[in-house]
Amino acid sequence: MQSLQPSVAFFDSGIGGLTVLAACKKQINAPFYYYGDNAYAPYGNRSVLEIRGRVFSAFTLFEKMRVQAAVVACNTATTVCIDELRQRFSFPVVGTEPAVRTAAKRGGEIFVLTTRATYESLRFKTLCKRLSDEYPNANIRPFACKRLAGDIERNLLKEGYDCTSLLPKGKPAAVVLGCTHYVYMQSQIQAYYDCPTYDGNDGVARRLRGAFNDLAAARRDGQPLLTPDVLSPKTAPVFFLGSSKAYNEHVYEQMFVEK
Ligand code: DGL
């Protein structure tokens, strides 16, 4: 399968990455491919070796499809293997990381909700340490929400679904949604804590546009990849890949397509 237009592949353990795709779709009108590894979700409680293997097999498929760029629309996979992916694959790879900086700037107690694998990763610990030093007025408190992503993966479309019993207790000044699955529950989490919440999805969209601009600059003919007709209107298709494509497409239609 060869892509004729600039195309982007998105990867997540399951439905979470659709929240990233939807944010990117508002800014970029290229064809998007979505690969959710739902049969193995949640990744957060799996080993680094297992996660790495699953992500690499999806990226090998993206390479065969000759996509122009790929988004790891998963904080967990980003913390586990983003550097290795960038070394191994020749197309730009954009990662998703918890928006701790944005929240830390405001100061006060900042809850950072993540999966267990993200919580335990050196990359995430280093990020929290660096930002605690940089913003001494912020008390950055990471939490491993071991059951939250899996619960959202299974129950998102059930009527009256409520995830708040799985949230850590407290009165934070702000909450960072450090897993793309949590973004679906943003308004519920915001209401539960009665404070602002932050996710990294708009940041991913900005970096993806940046990656396209870099690719265009590197082209000899000087033609931009993101021409105005590629950028708008927002009509480009989304294609679903993998064994759970029907479920992901259904969730995408329910949550993001205007009826
Ligand atoms: N949505 C993913 C993340 O951003 C992974 C959740 C999971 O599978 O545990 O971390």
Q: Tell me the per-residue pLDDT of 148-157, one tens digit each, with 9 for 90 and over.
A: 999 999 999 9
Both tokens of 175, joined, read: 């909450």
Q: Which residues line ligand 1 (CB under 6 A)?
A: 12-14, 16, 41-44, 74-76, 115, 118, 149, 179-181
User: What's the confidence (pLDDT) of residue 1?
Assistant: 40
pLDDT, average across residues 222-250: 76
> Of the ranges 2-6, 25-29, 175-179, which one carries the lowest mean pLDDT score?
2-6
User: What's the confidence (pLDDT) of residue 4?
Assistant: 45
Q: How confident is the model at residue 3 (pLDDT cuts 50, 70, 90)?
A: very low
Both tokens of 145, joined, read: 């929400």
Write down the pTM of the prediction: 0.93
- pLDDT tens per residue across span 85-103: 999 999 999 999 999 999 9
Q: Which atom of ligand 1 is nearest to the CA of 116?
A: 9
| pLDDT surpasses 80 at 218 | no
What is the distance in A from the centroid of ligand 1 to the CA of 225? 31
pLDDT, average across residues 102-131: 98
| pLDDT surpasses 90 at 18 | yes
Q: CA-CA distance, 191 to 188, in Å (whole number)?
A: 5
Q: How confident is the model at residue 7 (pLDDT cuts 50, 70, 90)?
A: confident
